[in-house]
Amino acid sequence: MSGQRPVALVTGASRRIGAAIARRLHAGGYDLALHHRRDDDRMDALCAELESVRAGSTLELRADLADLDALPLLVADTVARYSRIDALINNAAAFFPTPIGHATAAQWDALFAANARAPFFLAQAAAPHLAATGGAIVNLVDVYAERPLKDHAIYCMAKAALLMLTQALAKDLAPKVRVNAIAPGVVLWPEGDHDAARHAKLLANTALGRAGEPDDVAAAAFYLLADARYTTGEVLHVDGGRKLAI
């Protein structure tokens, strides 16, 4: 049990940015409910790593976020284990191209389910518990929520919906719950993306001239949860200045 330690529910926590956020929050004193869809080996390894530091500090949750019935259960299981929730980090996402003329309804459903619908219904389920603890929500959006990416119209629309959800929830859940977002730039290349020329072009259009690290996003998440006590409805761009060139 967590006692008086704050508790965070993190979606898509088994790897990449999600795992970095989990490690940073854990180091900052949070106990964790860590969601994944089917990455059992990586999640088992992450939980074992964190448990070796502080026993009883992690809860592994497996669910498909496209399953609406599973969403309130993630919150219920977290509360059953820890008796509280102080933070919800909507990190899990789906990303793939949908060129005009070839996009399908199934692609629409998949992108909106992961990037917009699941964060809404998780926030709805968690809201009473977050209000009880004076907690906060952090949503992972994208620079492309504000500027379009060619051949990714549906993804951009879904992330734009998540950005608006951030602002709407900040108003609806105030004053007890703060809601903010992080818009990463080039931090990790999409899996399977090995286009060196395109990578170089993206970095050339980034003011700092380099890619970021998952820990940069994790530090921003910790700041918004633990330190930004008078901040809500905002989007923190962790993009090395890339937004300036888009």
Catalytic positions are 155
Q: Please name the amino acid found at residue 91.
A: N
Q: Is the dihedral of CA 159, 28, 10, 151 positive or negative?
A: positive
**Element of type H or E holding 40:** helix 40-53
Q: Report d(CA 46, CA 32) in Å as an integer.
A: 11
Task: Tell me the H-state helices in 143-243.
Answer: 153-172, 196-204, 214-222
Asked if 61 and 110 count as a contact pair (C-beta separation under 8 A), the reply is no
Burial (CB count <10 Å: 0-12, 13-18, 19+), residue 225: buried
